[in-house]
Amino acid sequence: MDLTNEPEQDPPQELKRKLKSRHLTMIALGGTIGTGLFLASGSMVHTAGPGGAILTYGLIGIMVYFVMISLAEMATFLPVAGSFSTYATRFVDPSLGFALGWNYWYNWAITIASELTAVALIMKFWFPNTPSFLWSGLCLTIIFLLNYLSVKGFGESEYWFSMIKVAAVIVFLIIGVLMIFGILGGEYIGFKNFTIADGPFHGGFMTILGIFMAAGYSFQGTELFGVAAGETDNPSKAIPKAVKQVFWRILLFYILAILVIGLLIPFTTESLGSDNVAVSPFTLVFKQAGIAFAASVMNAIILTSVLSAGSSGLYASTRMLWDLAREGKAPKFLAKLDHRGVPVAALVITALVGTLAFLASFFGDGAVYIWLLNASGMSGFIAWLGIVISHYRFRRAYIAQGYDLRDLPYRAKWFPFGPLFAIALCTFVILGQNYSAFTSETIDWNGALISYIGLPLFLIVWLSYKFKKKTKLIPLHQCDFSRDGQQ
C-alpha cells in the first residue's frame, strides 16, 4: 500500500511549505554548531583528556545518528510541525505525546532566555560599559522579526548563520592540520600532546561518564529538521538528504575538531576549562597560528551561533505550541495562523515566556533563573528518548497492520538495533548525569535535585494527563497511519 502521496498545495489554516531542501540541509548541518563546540569542547578535553573527549563525542554522535534516522523515517511519512509529539500521540500513548510537546516547548523557551543572557556577555567583549538590556533587547527583536516575517525568512537566516559556522570549522580544521604537521611554520607536533601525563584518557571511566551529558548538549538541536518538516516543500526528498549530513557533521565537526584541539593544545592547559571566548580552544589554535584578532573573530562567530540558536529555539517552540493547540492540548487561540501561515499568537506567547525567564536572571541573585535552566537541562535527552521509542512502535505497528516497508519514503537502517541502542544510551546518560551526588559518604541532595529536577517534572506532566484523560498504550493494530490533516 502506497501512503507517500503529498499534498500539492497548502490547505486553509495550515502552515506554508516554504522551506527548500537547502534550508533543511543547513538546518541539519549547522543546527548544533555553537557554544557546545566552540567553547565547551575545550572543557571536555581538559576534563577527560583528548581520548576521553573523542570517545564521548563518538558514542553520543552514534546515538544521535540513530535518533535522527528514526525521526527521518517518521517525518518523511508524516511531515508535521508537531513532529515527535504527534508521533508519540499516534504510536505510543497520547499522554506521552502531550508531555513531550510541552517538555520540548519549555526547553526551547528557556533556551531563548539563556541566549538573551549570552548575547549581552558576548557584546560586552567589545563594548564593556554598555547595558546588558540593550543587547538582549536587540537580540530578541532580531530573532522575533526573523520568525514573524515568514518561515522563508527564518530558513534563509538559518542557512547563512549555519554557513558562517560551517566555514569557521572548516578553516579551523585546515589550519589545525597544517600546524600539526609543521607546514604552517613551527615544529612538527604529531601525537606528543596525546601522551602527556595520563593521557589520552584522563580520570578513567567515571570522569568520561561525567561529561556525557555535557557532550549531549552540544548535539541538541539536530531534531529541528523534524519540526521543520511540516513547512518543507518536498519532505520525502529534503529530509533524507538532510539526515545524510548528520553522519558527516559528527565525523567532521566534532570528532576531527576535538582531535585537532587535543593534538595542538596539551589537555593539562588550565585555560581549556574556561568558558571565556578569549581562551576558547578555537581562539587558542588561531592565536598559535599567528592570526591577529583571533578572539574578536571567534567572538563574532559565537555571536552568530547565539543568534542562530535563539532563532531556532523560537521557531521550534512556536511550532510545537501551535501544534499542541491544534490538537486541543493548549489554549485554542494559539492555533491561529495569519495570512502568511505564521502562528503569531504562539510566537508572541513563547517570546514573552523567554523574556520573563531572562528577566528572572536579574532578581534574587538569579536563583529562579538557575532553577529554570536546570529544569530544562535534560529536556533534550527526554525528547530524543521519545523519538526513538515512537519510532520503535511506529515500525512495529506499520508491519503489524500489513503495510509494506518498501512503500516508506525513507527507511531507517539498523532497525531494531538503532532505536534500542539509542534508548539504552539515552537512559544511561539521563540517570547517570550526576552520579557523584550519590557516591560520597553523605548524599548531596541539593546537587541531585538541581541535576534531576527536569525528570520528575516531565513525569508529573505525563502522568497527570494520563490519569486525567485515562489514556492507555495504543495497541499496534490501532496506531493511526492516516495522513489526513497533515500540514
Residue 77 included in any domain: yes
> Does residue 454 lie within any of the structural domains?
no
What is the rounded (10 degree) CA torsion for 321, 165, 248, 412? 10
> How far is 76 from 226, CA to CA, in rounded Å?
9
What is the extent of the structural domain holding 291? 21-433
Predicted local distance difference test score (pLDDT) of residue 9:
44
Query: Distance between CA atoms of 321 and 349, rounded to whole angstroms?
Result: 9
- Does residue 445 form part of some domain? no
The verdict on residue 82 lying in a domain is: yes
Does a structural domain hold residue 348?
yes
Q: How far apart are CA 444 and CA 404, in angstroms?
A: 52
Question: What's the pLDDT at 366?
Answer: 62
Classify residue 466: in a domain, yes or no: no
Per-residue pLDDT in tens (0 to 9) along the chain, 487 residues? 444 444 444 444 577 778 888 888 777 766 667 777 887 888 888 888 999 999 998 999 899 899 999 999 999 999 887 888 999 999 999 999 999 999 999 988 888 888 888 888 888 889 888 888 889 899 999 999 999 988 888 889 888 988 888 888 889 999 999 988 888 767 788 888 888 877 788 888 878 887 887 788 788 888 888 888 888 888 888 888 888 777 777 777 888 999 999 999 988 888 887 777 777 888 888 888 888 788 888 888 888 988 888 888 899 899 999 999 998 999 999 999 988 888 999 999 999 988 888 887 777 556 666 677 667 778 889 999 999 999 999 999 999 999 999 999 999 999 999 999 999 999 988 887 777 777 777 887 877 777 788 888 899 999 999 999 999 999 999 999 987 545 4
**C-alpha distance from residue 227 to each of 151, 154, 302, 438 (Å):** 12, 13, 24, 37
For residue 32, what pLDDT is reported? 67
- Rounded to two decimals, the pTM is 0.89
> For residues 310 and 115, is the Cβ–Cβ distance under 8 A?
yes
Domain CATH code at residue 276: 1.20.1740.10
**Single-letter amino acid code for the residue at 94:** P
Number of domains forming the structure of the chain:
1
Domain contains 438: no
pLDDT at 412: 93
289-294: Cβ within 8 A, 24+ apart? 289/175, 289/179, 289/184, 290/185, 291/175
The reply to whether 161 falls in a domain is: yes
pLDDT on residue 210: 78
Output the pLDDT for position 12: 43
* Integer angstrom CA distances of residue 425 from 59, 405, 417: 9, 27, 12
pLDDT at 397: 96
pLDDT recorded at residue 306: 85
